[in-house]
Each structure stands twice: as structure tokens, then as C-alpha cells.
Amino acid sequence: MDPSRFGQGLVLGFTIAAAVGPISLLVMRRTLAHGQVYGLASGMGVATADAAYGALAAFGLTAITSVLVGARVALALIGGAFMLYLGWKTFTSRPTQVAEATDRPGLIGAFASIFGLTITNPSTILSFAAIFAGLGVVGSGGADAALLTLGVFCGSGLWWVILTTAFKLLRTRVTVRGLVWANRISGLVLLGFGVAAIVTAFIATMG
């Protein structure tokens, strides 16, 4: 067992999570609207999905990997449609005040929705497989793979703790008008990502 595998996974998970994209945008917006706990629950959904894909690569579960990669077009359509839904819902949201903790939607729903959105991106597993291959642990299984997977989860989770803490501090300065504009901008960007995912999927079917 090589303890350094945990550190490698930690750096990898943190780096992948820190990439700015629709997921980060959703977590930021949820933290502003509903507080750090809700935002962090969403972030843990991302960390769990990252760790799941990391585990598939590290433990060499090629059958499952092949199914996911083979279904990448369908998954892209599902993910794109879900992103369109979230984008429209975000854009049309009209908050009257920054939500208090008692007004927060369910934490399980926050976790599950972001987990589902992240897991429908099969290109993530290809990224993990490529990076893990460089580390020499693809399909190795055992303690090294387990440490690497745990590191990915902890690294990704660490990023979401940092991000939601920063936006928690900003939340006290957000006015109702500011939150409305944050919803509009976030919604438009998410709609754009959703359209792009669907168009890319259709192009892939014609390729």
C-alpha cells in the first residue's frame, strides 16, 4: 500500500472540482439563495459522483465503464435536458428575500440533483481513466485504488467547503435585487450549457 496515493487523489479531486462550469455555478447560486449547508450538500453530490467515476477507473470495472461510454449520447441528452430544466427554473425564480434556513429545500434533493447531473457526464470517467493510467493504477484495485478514490472524494469535498464558505460570507451582502440578477445570469448560462450538451449529442449521433 502506497500512502502517497491518497495525496495524489486529493490533488486530483480538488483540481477537477475547481474547474469552473455549470456545476460550480449551481453550487454558488444555491449557497447565495439558501445558505452554506444547502450549497455544501450540493457540492457533496459532485464529490460523490467524482469518487464513483474515479473508483470505476481505479478498480478496472471495464464492463460498467464500457456501458457508460457507450451510452454517452443518451446520457448527454438526459443531462442537457435536466440542465435546461434547472436553468429555466433558476432564471424564472423571483425571490422576495434571501431565504432563511427554515425555507431551504430538502438537502437530499440538493445532493441527488447535482449527483445526477454530474454522473450523466461520461466524459468524466474518461478523464479519470486517462489520469489514473498516467499514475499507473488503472484497474489495479486493492488498497492503492481505494486510497486514490478516497483522496478524490476528499479533494473534491474540500473544494466545495472552501467555495461555499466564501459565498456564505458574500451572502450577507446580497440584496434581493442582486439575488434576482444572480438567478437571471445563472439561468441563462445553464440554459446555454444545456443547449450545447443536447446539440453535441445530436451531432455525435450523425457522426
pLDDT along the chain (207 residues), means of 10: 83 82 83 88 93 82 60 73 76 57 70 87 70 64 82 94 90 69 74 80 73
pTM of the model: 0.72
The rounded Cα 129 to chain-centroid distance in angstroms is 18
Provide the pLDDT for residue 20.
64
φ, ψ of residue 21 to 5 degrees: the values are: -165, -170
Residue 145 cell numbers, joined: 485504488
Q: What angle (nearest 5°) sits at the alpha carbon of residue 145, between those of residues 40 and 72? A: 65
**C-beta separation of 114 from 50 below 8 A:** no
Judge contact between 123 and 72, C-beta under 8 A.
yes
